[in-house]
Amino acid sequence: MKCAKELFEEGYNCSQAVFCAHCEEFGIDFETGLKLSSSFGGGMGRLREVCGALSGLFMLIGLKNGYISPDDDKQKAEHYAKIQELASVFEAQFGSILCRELLDLKVKKDSPTPTKRDENFYKTRPCARFIEFADELYKKNFED
């Protein structure tokens, strides 16, 4: 399996890159992983909300240690505490967890049309750093 940054550089969105770098670990085929994580790119469908790399990380954490019982408040609290902890680490590193703030965009919601990926895109967009950091957080906290 390719690393998250390589997947991003092939054109997959931030969430797909982080999630699909590890989907086989959970028995999820690559195509299903791409579909499952596709909605979270661009800060959730280019709404520029929570960073897609972080959303991909959160989905992995759910697969690794998510809760299944709606009545298990202890497990829910532990899970949410880990999500909040890692979001805080990400925010401390980059100053925000919001896509629009990370990219210094002046709009709250962006056009649904994806930005054309070209050499300049990869030179000027900081997304690869966010993807690498989210991927490292996963590896550091959850890989056996």
**75-111 confidence digits (pLDDT tens):** 999 999 999 999 999 999 999 999 999 999 988 888 9
> CA 95, 19, 15, 124: dihedral to nearest 10 degrees?
70
Query: Other CB atoms closer than 10 Å to residue 25's CB: what's the count?
Result: 15
Under the banding of pLDDT at 50, 70 and 90, the label for residue 144 is low
Helices then strands, each counted (H, E), the chain: 9, 0
Place of tokens 């100053």: 95
Half-sphere exposure of 54 (CA within 13 A, CB side): 24
> CA 63, 66, 68, 73: dihedral to nearest 10 degrees?
180
Q: Which residues pair with 50 in a beta bridge?
A: 98
State what percent of residues in the chain have pLDDT above 90: 87
CA dist., res. 19 & res. 24, Å (int): 10
CA dist., res. 20 & res. 93, Å (int): 23
pTM: 0.94
Domain count, the chain: 1
Domain that holds residue 29: 4-142
CA dist., res. 15 & res. 138, Å (int): 13
pLDDT for residue 58 is more than 90: yes
